[in-house]
Structures are given as structure tokens and as C-alpha cells.
Amino acid sequence: MLSAVEQAIEGAILNLDHQEIKKLLTKLPKGKRLRAKLILYIAKENKESIKLASIAEMIHAASLLHDDVIDDAMQRRGVESINALYGNKNAIMLGDILYSIGFFELVDMGSIIAKSISNAVVQLSIGELDDVSLSKQFNVDAVIYRDMIYKKTASLMEACAYSAAILAGKNADAYALYGKNLGIAFQMIDDLLDITSDAQTLGKPALHDFVEGKTTLPYIYLHNRLNNEDKKKLEAMHARSLDMKEQEWILLNIKKYDIIQKCYLEAKELVLEALEAIKDEKNQKLNSIAKEMIDRSF
Ligand code: FPP
Ligand code: MG
């Protein structure tokens, strides 16, 4: 099912007939294609939905190319990132090319869908901007964190689900709510995995987010629970490399206050709301995507 989307992406890029771009493309990991799946599972596989899915994935890939430059990430999905292999300039330009092709194609999709997707890209760019500026200080506000991840991650999933429903003449608001909640939960779980997975599984060093200054939900909740002295201790570790003892201290306290479970339950609640939003649609595949997200132990 996804192979048609891969072909559409490859076709659009090969059409440019440019050797350098082709070379870069071979090093770009494909990922889970979650956005494409949402679209195809809502609108079924047809010419329009495949086109929309390929647009969403090109825009998403572009955003990750830029994100890895911004985050100085040397790995993506367990392999070397494009910026690590070919430098920041090439990664940024490949991103520019991908999202520009996406927008070029989007023009044909009708104004409701074009506006929904392009507005989401504005939102995800604002979300990334907020993520960067929030990283400068120890953010202790969970509402601010949630708003940032909604923009950074969930806005595009929301728009994909909404647009796919428009294509299929289905209940767009219900699917949009599904996409939004799934997206927020997805980012929360991604942020949890940064703490619970080992470096090898994750494809980047553990506690990387905190080292980068990102006080994701677990750090916010941990900070809330600590006494004043330990709050200061945690704050002093923010946005710098940590030695083993410091890492252990953080992990010990996360365990002590059952922070992972608290965050997981919050993500689960959102997934259950996502399922509730589309319960009348009886869409088995979308139900499975949502369930698989929370069907894991931490
Ligand atoms: C990953 O966050 C980042 C995003 C989901 C959005 C990135 C958006 C931009 C860079 C704006 C530019 C947009 C375009 C279309 C070029 P993360 O760093 O928390 O996740 P990670 O662990 O996967 O890196
Ligand atoms: Mg990143």
C-alpha cells in the first residue's frame, strides 16, 4: 500500500533529474510513514490520496532534515543524518527542495486541503521555534510544553487526517481530533523514549533532550515533585553534558516519583480520546495505529 507513496515521492524527486539530489535521496531514511498511513487509512488508496500522502511525507522529511541541523543531531533513525554525512548546508537545501516539491503538488489538491496543510506547516515551524526558545531555560510549565508539541508534531497529523477525510467525504472534524490527539501522544511517547531507551535502540544518546535543554514532560513533572534543594540540583544540570553520576541521579528520581508512568498515562488518555473521536467510523486500521502506540511497557 505504501509502495505507491514511495514511488510518488521518488518520481517527484527523480523528475528533477539532478545527480546530487539523487545521491542525497539514497541516504534519506524512509521512517514509519505514519502520516501517509493516516491518509491512506482514512481516504483509501487512490490517485488523490497517494498524492496527498506523498506531499505530507515530503514535508515531514523536510522538517526533520531541518530539525537535525537545528538539534545538531548526528543520527536519524539509527543511521547517520544527512547533516552528519554531507553537512548542514546540503541538509537544509535538500529540505528546501522537498517541501517546495510538496507545496508545488499541493496546489492541485483544492484550496481547503492546500490551506489546511500549509497552515500546519506554519504551525510546525512556530512549534520548532518555540522548542528552540524554550530550551534556553528550564521550562516548568506543562501547558506550554503541550502547546509546543501540538504545533511541532500534532498540527501536521491533524491536517493530514482532516484533509484525508475531506478527500473521502468523511467527518473531517472527527478525524482531525483523532490526528491531533494521536500527534500529541506520539510526541509525548517519543520524549519518554528519550529517557527509557538505551542509546543504541534510540539512535542517539540517552537523556539527549535534557542535555539539549529540552525539558520535556518527564522533566517538568520531576521538577514539580522535587524539594527546593533538588530542584536547584536538577536545574544546574540543564542544557549541558551529564556525567554518569548525574544521569543516574536523574533516572533514580524519575523512578522514585513514578514519572514515566504518569506521563505514559497522560499519553494513553489522549490516545483513548483519539479512539473515541472516530468510534463511529469503525476504522480498524486507525484503531490499531492508536492502540499500538500505547500498547507497550516502559
Ligand atoms: C522533531 O522534533 C521536529 C519536528 C516534528 C518539526 C520540525 C519543524 C521544522 C524544523 C520547521 C521547518 C519545516 C519545514 C517544512 C522545512 P524533535 O527534535 O523533538 O524530534 P526528534 O527526536 O525526532 O528529532
Ligand atoms: Mg530533533
Distance between Cα 218 and ligand 1 center (Å): 20
In sequence order, the 6+-apart residues with CB closer than 8 A to the CB of 208 are: 194, 202
CA-only gyration radius of the chain, Å: 19
Does ligand 1 come within 6 angstroms of the Cβ of 253? no
* Cβ–Cβ under 8 Å, residues 143 and 224: no
* pLDDT of res. 295: 85
Residue 205 pLDDT: 61
CA dihedral for 98, 100, 104, 106, sign (positive or negative): positive
Q: Is 163 in the pocket of ligand 1 (CB under 6 A)?
A: no
**197: Cβ below 6 Å to ligand 1?**
no
Residue 226 confidence (pLDDT): 98
Atom nearest to 187 CA in ligand 1 = 19
What does the pLDDT read at residue 202? 61
pLDDT value for 120 = 98
Give residue 167 CA to ligand 2 midpoint distance, Å. 31
Output the pLDDT for position 297: 72
Taking the CA of 153 as reference, the closest ligand is 1
How high is the pLDDT of residue 198? 72
User: Of all protein residues, whose CA lies closest to atom 7 belonging to ligand 1?
Assistant: 63
Cell 506531499, residue? 55
Residues facing 75 on adjacent strands: 80
pTM for the full predicted model:
0.95
Closest-approaching ligand to the CA atom of 186: 1
Closest ligand to residue 127's CA: 1
Nearest C-alpha to atom 16 of ligand 1 is from which residue? 63
Nearest listed ligand to the Cα of residue 151? 1
- With beta carbons less than 8 A apart as the criterion, state whether 73 and 63 touch: no
Binding site membership of 118 for ligand 1 (Cβ less than 6 Å): no
Are the CB atoms for 55 and 98 separated by under 8 Å? Answer: no
Looking at residue 75, the DSSP 8-state letter turns out to be E
Reading the block at residue 124, the C-alpha cell is 510546525
Give, rounded to a whole angstrom, the gap between the first and last alpha carbons of the chain: 31
- Best mutation site among 152, 184, 196 for ligand 1, i.e. most ligand atoms within 8 A of its Cβ? 152
Residue type, 167: L
In the chain, what are the domains? 1-109 (1.10.600.10), 111-298 (1.10.600.10)
**Residues of the chain below pLDDT 70:** 199-205
DSSP 170: S
Per-residue pLDDT of 60-91, as tens digits, reads 999 999 999 999 989 898 899 999 999 999 99
Nearest to 24 by CA among 104, 121, 96, 124: 96
